[in-house]
Chains A and B, each alone.
Chain A
Amino acid sequence: MGFLKGKAYILIPIILVVVTGRVVRSLNSHERHNRETEYVMDGGDYYVQPTLVQVAPRNDLNQEWDSLDNSGPDLYVEIYWQGQRVYTSSVKADSLLARWSNAEVDVRNLALTGKRASVDDVIPAARIQIKENDSISVRVYDRDVLGKDEEIGSLEIPSKFLRLGQHDYTKEGSLVRRLVLKTFSLHSVPDLTDQDAP
Chain B
Amino acid sequence: MKMKFSLYYLLVISGALLGAGLTLPAMTVVPGYGDYTPLIAFFEPDLSEVKSFSIFDSVLLLWEEGKYFVSLIIAAFSVVFPIWKLCVLWKCVELYYNQEDFHGALKWIEKLGKFSMLDVYVIALLVLIIKGLPGGTQIQVGSGVIAFALSVILTMLIPKAMTSRNEI
Contact residues of A with B, CB < 8 Å? 8-10, 12-14, 16-25, 28, 102-103, 189-190, 192, 195, 198
Instruction: Kindly state whether residue B128 has any CB partner on chain A within 8 Å.
Output: no
* A13-B87 in contact (CB<8A): yes
By a CB distance below 8 angstroms, the chain B residues around A103 are 42-43
Contact residues of B with A, CB < 8 Å? 11-12, 15-16, 18-20, 22-25, 35, 38-39, 41-43, 45, 56, 83, 86-88, 90-91, 94
Partner of A13, one of B24, B39, B41, B90: B90
By a CB distance below 8 angstroms, the chain A residues around B24 are 24, 28
Q: Which residue of A lies closest to B24 (CB)?
A: A24
In the complex, A84 Cα to B11 Cα: how many Å? 66
* B20-A16 in contact (CB<8A): no
How many whole Å from B34's CB to the nearest CB in chain A?
10
* B23-A28 in contact (CB<8A): yes
Partner of A18, one of B12, B19, B87, B88: B19
8 further A-B pairs in the complex, CB-CB below 8 A; given A14-B87, A16-B12, A20-B16: A9-B90, A13-B15, A13-B83, A17-B15, A21-B22, A21-B23, A24-B23, A190-B42
* A9-B41 in contact (CB<8A): no
Pick 28 A–B contacts, CB within 8 A, sort by A. Answer: A9-B88, A12-B15, A13-B15, A13-B90, A14-B87, A16-B12, A16-B15, A16-B86, A17-B15, A17-B22, A17-B83, A21-B23, A21-B56, A23-B19, A24-B24, A25-B23, A28-B23, A28-B24, A28-B25, A102-B42, A102-B45, A103-B43, A190-B38, A190-B39, A190-B42, A192-B38, A195-B35, A198-B35
